[in-house]
A = this chain, B = another copy of it.
Amino acid sequence: METAILLYDRFTALDAVGPLDVLGRIPGNEIRLVGVEPGPVTTETGLTVNAEQRFGDVPTPDALVVPGGFGQVDLMDDGPLHEWLRAVHEQSTWTTSVCTGSLILAAAGILKGHRATSHWLALDQLPAYGVEPVAERVVFDGKIVTAAGVSSGIDMALALAARIAGDEVAQIIQLGIEYDPQPPFDAGSPDKAPDFAVEFLRSQSRFVLEGR
């Protein structure tokens, strides 16, 4: 089994590393870290990671993970990357995204007519691509699996590990990464977080989108 994780400039490190450290522990699952170009890629918070290969070098992965991040806005136009995403999806067992990675899949036409999620600030952008937005943490729609913002990639990857390798393997991985979350606040979704936090991030989001 081969899983491709797409890396690009200004992706969110945790979007990719959550799934990497879960799916990378499934026995026999080979991870391919593919870049828009091969070589160094810098994440949103300044970590430089190395893309081993260009996306086209991995034509038929069984699973695909597309992370989100500020750099997502640069990957919305049709071209070779979208062609690759569509070709991969045609033959994949699982096509997945974390956070605003779903907007890239949507822009490539892959989510049309499907239910999907995204970062809570980006959910309202999905209908423009014919996608039904769903405010849930992990959304399975056939072989398409989308996760909400950033940290939700861990939950998605564990659910996916269970489908790929069985509940027992997924539970071993969860215990191995000691994923028994105890957030210090109950502020992780817009329904629960205090208003000032929701308002602050909404105002930042407008800034980011206008900066495109």
Contact = CB atoms under 8 A, between A and B. Distances in A.
Nearest to A14: B21
A35 to B, nearest CB: 12
B45 A182 contact: no
B190 A175 contact: yes
A180 B137 contact: yes
**Number of this chain's copies in the complex:** 2
Interface of A: 12-14, 17-18, 20-21, 24-25, 31, 33, 40, 44-50, 52, 99, 119-120, 137-138, 148-152, 154-155, 158-159, 162, 167-168, 170-172, 174-185, 187-190, 192-194, 196-198, 200-201
B49 A20 contact: no
Give the most central of A46, A175, A196: most B CB within 10 Å: A175
A128 B209 CA distance: 53
Nearest to A30: B46
B31 A21 contact: no
A100 to B, nearest CB: 11
